[in-house]
Amino acid sequence: MEYAKLGSTDISVSRLCVGCMSYGQPSEDFHMWTLDYDRSREMIACAWDLGVNFFDTANVYSFGSSEEYLGRAVRDLKIPRDRIVLASKVYFNEGFLSKEAILREIDGTLKRLGTDYLDLYQIHRFDYSTPPEEFMGALNSLIRAGKVRAIGASAMFGYQFHNLQIIAERNGFAGFSTMQNHYNLLYREDERELIPICRQYGVSLIPYSPLAGGHLSRREWDSDSLRSASDRVSRQKYDQARENDTEITERVYALAEKRGVSMTEISLAWLLHRGVAAPIVGATKPWHFEAAVKALSLKLDEEELRSLEEPYRAHEVVGALSSNITLSK
């Protein structure tokens, strides 16, 4: 396993992060394909045994049970708290990012995880209803109180992220150390503005959906898996650009065949080449993690990179929101 620092912090994380949206109580109002506790614990144990120390969840994942499963597994597996990096998120809740909401939600997250601090606390989206000075100040107060070590952001427009970093600087608040954005071979819109801004501020990229909901891990666009059949969110993300994107997946497949590796390895190796600190991998089977780890040692040459990137065409923005939305039970 390889490790990297998050932004300018002293937090050392594995170059792969476990996306815990896959773990939690299945629900028709969220996802039906999530794993129960026993299977979730097995996957967390598998990742830990492979050297992964970075786990990402959110207060909204399976309505809190993802955090509960992760915290319970850490205790059951007797993983030392100071050797694991726990990250969670706030936004899709009552009050969005108001000071009141942030102070309430962090306590709920810590309780469900069974810990007294988070290594990384991220705003899940930009809040259009709360003054930025209010939520940046609230996040800063969590660091001062010792409840959070560092803060991060997730999918938003480049100008929004830039403005938030300036607000932090002007007010003496902690700035963001990470950006969890939507980024993979099938979706590269953030290369235009958001990613360069992150580079400007020394912010680490920890993108979600690095395998595009599985489309970059198999040749066939559709799958007979429960997730493929029931994940409406993934279909909304990717099906609209299916005609163009299948050309990219074909190139991933061809290169994987040529190199004698999996499509997962090719897709993650491309992301790592693009300077990503730790892609967030949502795995439901041990071999998913095993393939992801192999990507760390796979190097692609310039010709291979050009071949993978050449078919890309501009996409509709997917991830950043133009207004506030809530997820209801």
Contacts of 3 (CB under 8 A, 6+ apart): 12, 13, 14, 15, 53
Phi and psi angles of residue 148, each rounded to the nearest 5 degrees, phi first: -140, 135
Report how far residue 164's alpha carbon sits from residue 162's, in angstroms, rounded to the nearest whole number. 5
Rg of the chain taking only CA atoms, in angstroms: 19
End-to-end CA distance of the chain: 38
Both tokens assigned to 126: 């930009």
Can you name the residues that pair with 35 across neighbouring β-strands?
A: 23
Both tokens assigned to 305: 């990179």
If we measure between CA atoms, which residue out of 39, 154, 125 comes closest to residue 325?
125
Catalytic residue among 3, 23, 37, 61: 61
- Asked whether the beta carbons of 164 and 132 are under 8 A apart, the reply is yes
Report how far residue 62's alpha carbon sits from residue 19's, in angstroms, rounded to the nearest whole number. 13
Can you name the residues that pair with 148 across neighbouring β-strands?
A: 118
Taking the CA atoms of 258, 261, 267 and 273 in sequence, report the sign of the dihedral they define.
Answer: negative
Distances (CA, A) of 1 to 5, 47, 158, 275: 14, 11, 32, 17
Both tokens assigned to 25: 């109580």
If we measure between CA atoms, which residue out of 60, 49, 77 comes closest to residue 20?
60
Both tokens assigned to 248: 């990219």
Residue in the block written with tokens 């192999």: 294
Report how far residue 53's alpha carbon sits from residue 79's, in angstroms, rounded to the nearest whole number. 10
Both tokens assigned to 125: 């989206």
Q: Is position 253 annotated as part of the catalytic site?
A: no
What amino acid positions are annotated as catalytic residues?
61
